[in-house]
Amino acid sequence: MPTFDIVSKVEAQALDNAVNVSRKEITNRFDFKDSHVVIDLNKKDYIVNLEADDEMKLRQIIDVLINRAHKQGIAPEAFDLSKESHPSGKIVKKELIVKNGLKQEDAKKITKLIKDSGLKVQAQIMDDIIRVNGKKIDDLQAIIQLCRNANLGLALQFENMRN
């Protein structure tokens, strides 16, 4: 019976590369000359700590980071931009949380989407993975297309396709 897994994960090395390239690009830019900029990655918790002189420079740093991460193969949806920046003295700080793994409520949303599609497949939640199996590979490919086209706000990957 054909199966595949739906996951949402970010490679630590790709994220580290994106942060390093962003840091290098920002330090070489003329508009950031002589300004306070910190781009720091907490690899254990998947959190990027950002500091800048003002809100505008912070937004530019975030744009550069997301563009560089996208070139490294990390989807822009993997970054949680919901947390507000906060001033700390003369600088502005922000924590960018990188979503790694499917949360239970997101997994339930995806399985509901799959069950409501009407295709003859089964979806089961296994920790932070959703395993989908069905009799036809065409049905599984339709589920992949359905998940890609649904605006879930998640960076989804589809792996372990087996016959």
The residue ranges of every structural domain in the chain are 3-8+101-162, 12-98
Amino acid 1: pLDDT: 85
Which residues in 92-107 are b (16+ Cβ under 10 Å) and which e?
A: bebebbbbbebeeebb
Amino acid 17: pLDDT: 95
Token representation of residue 37: 């900029």
Please give the Cα distance from 33 to 91 (Å, whole number): 15
Amino acid 153: pLDDT: 85
CB burial of residue 67 (10 Å; 0-12, 13-18, 19+): middle
Amino acid 151: pLDDT: 85
Architecture of the structural domain at 12-98: 2-Layer Sandwich (3.30)
Amino acid 83: pLDDT: 86
List Cβ neighbours of 1 (8 Å cut-off, separation of 6 or more): 133, 134, 135
Amino acid 154: pLDDT: 87
Alpha helices for the chain (secondary structure H): 12-28, 55-71, 104-116, 137-149
Which is nearest to 120 in space by CA: 100, 104, 105, 135? 135
Amino acid 51: pLDDT: 94
Residues of the chain with pLDDT under 50: none
Strand partners, 133: 3, 122
Amino acid 132: pLDDT: 93
Instruction: Please state the pTM of the whole predicted model.
Output: 0.84
Amino acid 127: pLDDT: 85
Amino acid 76: pLDDT: 92
Q: Which top CATH class is 3-8+101-162?
A: alpha beta
């330090």: which residue's tokens?
Answer: 27
